[in-house]
Amino acid sequence: MIPTHWTPVHRPEDGERVGYLSPDGAPDLLVPRLLTGAPAGPATHQGAARDLLVARGLAMLDRRWWCRLPAPLVDGTRADTPQADWAWTAVVLVEASPAECRVRLEFAPPAELRALAVLPTPVGDLLREDPPDR
């Protein structure tokens, strides 16, 4: 669940939530965070962090991500505690809410096309931008 001390950021033109601002620990600095809770950039001043999320927060979600998942992937798999034999797999984000995120395989075999894995929000290290060492 997104921490209650994180501040939601909404797009001014339509009120769509585009991310969050979280304290960095340094005075006057905030971390811009995506809807998944992942950092969207380094800690900065409130205006710059908010502007980044309004301008690019949703677009930054539309990309390849990496997640440790079982093979084959079964719909509804809880991926919050990856097992030792789960491999890092390319996924795309399907849904993000304050409580959880859902991903699907980027290159799914026919039997797994509709299978979604569920991650907690914030995702922490469970969902990565770069392919980790396998």
Give tens-digit pLDDT for 70-120.
999 999 999 999 999 999 999 999 999 999 999 999 999 999 999 999 999
Residue type, 77: T
Average pLDDT over residues 34-45: 96
Distance CA 78, CA 76 (A): 6
Residues 121 and 95 in one domain: yes
Q: pLDDT at residue 26 above 90?
A: no
Strand order in the sheet with 30-33: 7-10, 17-23, 30-33
Residue 98: what pLDDT? Answer: 95
Residues 67 and 123 in one domain: yes
- Identify which of 110, 111, 109, 108 has the alpha carbon closest to the alpha carbon of residue 94: 108
Average pLDDT over residues 50-73: 97
Residues 43 and 84 in one domain: no
Residues 89 and 73 in one domain: yes
Query: Number of folded domains in the chain?
Result: 2
Residue type, 76: G
Which residue, chain included where needed, has tokens 């797009």? 11
Of 21, 43, 60, the residue at which a domain comes to its end is: 60
Average pLDDT over residues 26-42: 95
Residues 56 and 69 in one domain: no
CA distances for 90 relative to 1, 68, 97, 104, angstroms: 24, 9, 21, 9
Residue 120 belongs to domain spanning: 63-128
Which residue, chain included where needed, has tokens 């079964």? 74
**Could you give phi then psi for residue 93, rounded to 5 degrees?**
-80, 130
CA distances for 125 relative to 11, 39, 120, 134, angstroms: 27, 11, 11, 15
